[in-house]
Every structure is written in C-alpha cells, then in structure tokens.
C-alpha cells in the first residue's frame, strides 16, 4: 500500500508529512509549537513562522516523517 502523505505549503517551500513514519517524538512541536500543533487541524500552520526556521525544524525530525521541498518559482 502506498504511504499516505500530507502536504503543507507557504508558497516558498512545501512540507511533506508521512503519518505512518511519525514516531510521535514531539521534537517538532516542542521546537516550533506555533507551526506544529497536534491539537489543531490542520496541525501544521506554515503561516506561523518563516521559511528558514521551518526548514531547520523539519531537519530535526528523527523518523523522516517530515521533509520539505523548495517550490519552483513561477516564471
Ligand atoms: S518530529 Fe517527526 S517523528 Fe517527531 S512528532 Fe514531529 S513529525 Fe513525528
């Protein structure tokens, strides 16, 4: 079965979250709670911080559940 993925974009980057890989370590919401808040739906709000900070936090995800890609600029 394909792994389910969710995407969240702020126009500059797109975060991909794979719930099956998430080990609920809490590192993302302890590190950047305004963006990563599991009590909220959707739980990731890209408008709550800047791109660089969000990218830094995504890199700390220990399971690979979170990743990001830089969006292609419109030509
Ligand atoms: S840091 Fe990664 S593994 Fe930990 S709760 Fe967040 S998404 Fe899940």
Whether this prediction's pTM lies above 0.85 is answered by yes
pLDDT of residue 17: 98
Report how far ligand 1's centroid is from the alpha carbon of 1 (Å).
22
Question: What distance in Å separates the CA atoms of residue 64 and residue 21, rounded to the nearest whole number?
Answer: 7
Q: Using most ligand atoms within 8 A of CB, pick from 63, 64, 67, 68 the residue to mutate for ligand 1.
A: 63
Q: Spell out the domains of the chain, with CATH numbers in brackets.
A: 8-70 (3.30.70.20)
Helix, strand, coil shares of the chain, percent, nearest 5, are 25, 20, 55
Indicate which residue's Cα is closest to atom 8 of ligand 1. 22
Average confidence (pLDDT) over 21-32: 97
The count of other CB atoms within 10 Å of the CB of residue 7 is 10
Query: How far is the C-alpha of 19 from the C-alpha of 75, rounded, in Å?
Result: 33
pLDDT in tens, 31-71: 999 999 999 999 999 999 999 999 999 999 999 999 999 99
């Amino acid at each position: 079965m394909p792994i389910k993925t969710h995407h969240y974009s702020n126009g500059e980057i797109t975060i991909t979250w794979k719930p099956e890989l998430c080990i609920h370590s809490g590192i993302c919401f302890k590190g950047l709670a305004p963006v990563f808040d599991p009590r909220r739906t959707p739980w990731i709000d890209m408008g709550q911080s800047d791109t660089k900070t969000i990218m830094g936090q995504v890199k700390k995800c220990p399971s690979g559940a979170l990743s990001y890609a830089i969006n292609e600029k419109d030509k």
